[in-house]
Structure 1
Amino acid sequence: MSVRRGTIDHVTSTASTVDRAFAAALYDDTDSGLDTGASLLAADTGADAELARRGEEFMAAAWQRGWQPADVTRLVRRELEDAHLGLAAALIRAQAAKDRPRGPRWTAQLDALAEQPEPRPADRFSHATTVLELYRLVLRLPTLEPLEEPRRPAGPGTSRMLGRIRALLAKAEGTGYPEEAEALTAKAQELMARHSVDEALLAASAPAPDAPGACRIGVEPPYEQAKAVLLDAVARANHCRAVWNEPYAFSTVVGFEADLEAVELLYTSLLVQATHAMAKAEAAQRAGGRKRTKTFRQSFLAAYAHRVGDRLTAAAESQVSEDLLPVLVTRETAVTDRLETMFPRTTTTRLRGINDEAGWTEGAKAADEAQVRSRPRLP
């Protein structure tokens, strides 16, 4: 009987240590509160397991508020340091073992965390400080719009098509020849458009109609406004819609699952291509004695987004015949309805700092070189 009572006392003691540390550090923004909480935790080695358990609970609560693993790690990477990121990844992985089954997009986010190294051991006070700083951030996350996993899982045909698209875009990113990058990107967009049409026809004939979903794609500083415009252009060209959340550095893209996959692939690739082209153009500007780089880059990316959006739309439309328009219109209406349900109030934002003529000219030129040119409709 005395052994059991001792166990209960020990659990109560460690929980009390964590509670007192949280009261000092998590609900107080001061450094002194953080130091007090870290000191309490550092002094009680028996509190470690309870501290980790509370962290998993905080992560589970974040999921209930609409956050996903990639959202949390993106914010931690931006607001804190590598030690916090490693700790967050470890907590997410630990919580996932106890979580309910989720869909393929969630699973892919967890798989990506496997590349994040475990946090290195530190002295107890430094480690406790890192834990409390991370918990402060996670505890104060606001509620986001919930994202649903796709109702209809992707089949083997989708996987093969996305594999081909991914391979084409990888080649476009790696080539040093603009004409080759243009041709490869054009073919990738045409495959996306063809796949979107096939998916639309398949869904229209299915017993249970498909429904649009949503995903979040990071839109990271710097020049995040121009990047958000580029993502919006890619989304619209692929029958999706995007809403930018500037404070948390992501856009929510609404659309059907195959189109969401295409948008994520193409946006990532075009961003890589734009960055390479911008660095090359900027080097030429500096060689000519130019020193203003920030305004050049902002204007470059804005022009790139504007021009490449037109090319993407033209390439996508080249794959659609008049007899397919009713099906696509029905799907676009469903996407718009889902967007308005998720985001009943949105505002438009004007691009700022687009006043560099050389940057705009070079960005438009780069977009022309990476353009997605129209071709005859695929049979």
Structure 2
Amino acid sequence: MSGRGTFDDGRPSAEAGALVGAVAAAYERGWQPADLLHLTRREGECPPALAATAVLYQARQCRAADRAPTAWSDQLREVADQYPDQARLADGVPVDDPRGDHLAGALVAGRSGFLGYQMTELATEWNRLPGTTILLPLPEEWPAHRADAPTSEPAGDADPKVLGRIRGLLAKAERTEFEHEAETFTAKAQELMTRYAITSALVRSRSAAGRTAVHSRRFHLDNPYLTEKVHLLTAIGEANRVRTVWAADVAIATAVGTAIDLQQVDMLFTSLLVQATRSMQSSAAEGRSGSRTTPFRKAFLAGFASRIGQRLREADAKATEDAAADESVPLNTLLPILAGASAAVDSEFTRLFPGTRKSRARSVDAHGWYAGRASADDAALTPGARPIRPGK
């Protein structure tokens, strides 16, 4: 092949090497593997599969599996799971390939079929990314071999068995066609995670260190209704001692909190968004006036987020009282512990994002707003609880 960004007479090309170099450069400016995949899909100009290949190959080059923080390695595993063909392609290329010769040959051969101009476009796109807030140690700071329990790792992750039970309950809530079953499954999941988080906070307070470890996690949101989805994420976070900041230009929300609270927010947000979307679609199927319009649907999600935030805060207060009773700890002893965790989160949030400002509320479709709030009332959060209707 010949021409701009292609290969001639089988000679190696520099485009592949430049693309892998762009991955490393983006990391040094604060971006992470999942960010690059999200931004590539969002731009829509280059194949996400090409981005996945470059990210996974670069990870092998820098031995990320042995050196990177666990949160970073988890992202790489998710990329490999989403793009198994690209994972096999990256694994099959020799790591000692500084000019990208072998990688270039693999990318243009067989089923991959990526062209040089696509590599150039993607590298250019990534090289244009500005610096962003650094949330994890940079690759240049990684140790030669990751320790078994590095200080950079999130402390207090929930027991995998507990997380497995919670994910199973939420999956059942999302699959069932019966609203009562969905309410029961969601409520049980909420109860399990809330109790676990409070118990972990008590254990931490009794330990020798007693320090609240605060971490950050990025949420990549997709169209449509981005602003409304952020409102839902923020409402869930505020009810669980998690602070959230929104970068609209890249459609990324960053949440700051303890490891367990972040896990809880992640799982609740995913499940409640599915449930809100399903309820919104049901309104359209029932022929409710204006329910198929964009203003109605935006207002529906905004109303759902507002009401679900209130209900989660109420549930958190009740769960705290119940946990105190179960642990035989006076409530006036437990509340300062939770307040201390919130203060640690606030401090870290201010350090990471000193220049944030609160977003202003906008007028919305009234019918959609109240329909969304009613749907949030139907999402019972306590097993056996009756739906709460405003004014009753």
Q: TM-score range by the shorter chain?
A: 0.7 to 0.9
* Alignment CA distance shift 1:79-1:38 (3 Å): farther
Q: Which amino acid aligns with 2:355?
A: R
| Aligned counterparts of 1:239 and 1:347: Cα–Cα separation in 2 | 18
1:106 equivalent to 2:106? Answer no
1:262 equivalent to 2:264? Answer yes
1:358 equivalent to 2:367? Answer yes
* Alignment CA distance shift 1:353-1:221 (3 Å): farther
* Alignment CA distance shift 1:278-1:337 (3 Å): same
TM-score by length of 1: 0.81
Of 369, 373, 377, the match for 2:378: 369
Counterpart of 1:64?
28
| Aligned counterparts of 1:152 and 1:126: Cα–Cα separation in 2 | 36
Q: Which amino acid aligns with 2:231?
A: V
Q: Which amino acid aligns with 2:4?
A: S
* Alignment CA distance shift 1:124-1:90 (3 Å): closer
Aligned residues: 335
User: 1:182·1:372 contact (CA, 8 Å) conserved in 2?
Assistant: yes
3-state DSSP of counterpart to 1:371: coil
| Aligned counterparts of 1:53 and 1:231: Cα–Cα separation in 2 | 38
Counterpart of 2:251?
249
Residues 1-40 of structure 1 mapped to structure 2, 5 A cutoff: 39=4
* Alignment CA distance shift 1:44-1:213 (3 Å): farther
User: 1:162·1:262 contact (CA, 8 Å) conserved in 2?
Assistant: no
3-state DSSP of counterpart to 2:280: helix
Q: Which amino acid aligns with 1:88?
A: A
* Alignment CA distance shift 1:195-1:122 (3 Å): same
| Aligned counterparts of 1:38 and 1:172: Cα–Cα separation in 2 | 54
| Aligned counterparts of 2:195 and 2:111: Cα–Cα separation in 1 | 56
| Aligned counterparts of 1:295 and 1:156: Cα–Cα separation in 2 | 40
1:150-184 superposed Cα distances (whole Å, 9 cap, x missing partner): 74556786211111111111111111122222222
User: 1:121·1:127 contact (CA, 8 Å) conserved in 2?
Assistant: no
Counterpart of 1:89?
52
Range moving further from structure 2, 154-163 or 178-187: 154-163
1:103-160 superposed Cα distances (whole Å, 9 cap, x missing partner): 2221221111122243785999971221122112100111111113774556786211
* Alignment CA distance shift 1:129-1:179 (3 Å): same
3-state DSSP of counterpart to 1:268: helix
1:42-90 superposed Cα distances (whole Å, 9 cap, x missing partner): 4474233x32222112111111111111111011001025x52111100
Range moving further from structure 2, 117-126 or 50-59: 117-126
User: 1:254·1:260 contact (CA, 8 Å) conserved in 2?
Assistant: yes
Identity of aligned residues (%): 37
Counterpart of 1:5?
none
Counterpart of 2:307?
307
User: 1:277·1:366 contact (CA, 8 Å) conserved in 2?
Assistant: yes
1:191-215 superposed Cα distances (whole Å, 9 cap, x missing partner): 2211111221222233332420101
1:75 equivalent to 2:46? Answer no
Of 328, 343, 365, the match for 1:333: 343
Counterpart of 2:222?
220
Counterpart of 1:194?
195
User: 1:235·1:241 contact (CA, 8 Å) conserved in 2?
Assistant: yes
| Aligned counterparts of 2:20 and 2:260: Cα–Cα separation in 1 | 32
| Aligned counterparts of 1:80 and 1:255: Cα–Cα separation in 2 | 32
User: 1:151·1:210 contact (CA, 8 Å) conserved in 2?
Assistant: no
| Aligned counterparts of 1:241 and 1:226: Cα–Cα separation in 2 | 17
* Alignment CA distance shift 1:361-1:131 (3 Å): same
Counterpart of 1:3?
none
Counterpart of 1:293?
293
Counterpart of 1:346?
356
| Aligned counterparts of 1:230 and 1:156: Cα–Cα separation in 2 | 24
